[in-house]
Amino acid sequence: MKVTAVSIRKLFTENEDLYEKIVISARRQRQIIESRAIQLEAFEDIEDTDQLEEFDDVDHDIEKPLIVAMKELFNEDLEWEYISE
């Protein structure tokens, strides 16, 4: 796995709040982790090999949630809104 630093200029594409972006990406990471946890819970209920064959198509070589969330942030795939009380 190749690790590289992210330029701070890449986070400041417009006049935006850095901490807001950090919170948004952290929440997206949590969503990714929770969705993957649901998939892993299905493995706990397996009782025989016939049921195990259903999970053969699962990709076990997946990117870390941090990487996925940061790519989505940089590609502007993340959308959020403020909820007023």
Query: Which 3-state string (H, E, C) describes 39-58?
Result: HHHHHHCCCCHHHHHHHCCC
Tell me if 27 is assigned to some domain.
Answer: yes
Q: Report yes or no on 69 lying in a domain.
A: yes
Q: CA 37 to CA 29: how far, in whole Å?
A: 12
Q: Is 0.85 surpassed by the pTM of this model?
A: no
Per residue in 33-82, pLDDT tens? 998 887 777 666 677 666 666 665 666 678 888 889 888 888 888 888 87
- Domain contains 53: no
Asked if the structure places residue 52 within a domain, the reply is no
3 state DSSP class of 79: coil
Domain that holds residue 20: 16-43+63-78
Q: Please tell me the predicted confidence (pLDDT) of residue 5.
A: 76
Confirm whether 55 is domain-assigned. Answer: no
For position 26, what pLDDT does the model report?
A: 92
pLDDT in tens, 7-46: 777 766 666 777 888 888 899 999 999 988 877 776 666 7
Residue pair 67/15 in contact by the 8 Å Cβ criterion: no
Residue 57 domain-assigned (yes or no): no
CA distances from 48 to 20, 45, 60, 81 (A): 47, 9, 20, 45
User: How many structural domains compose the chain?
Assistant: 1
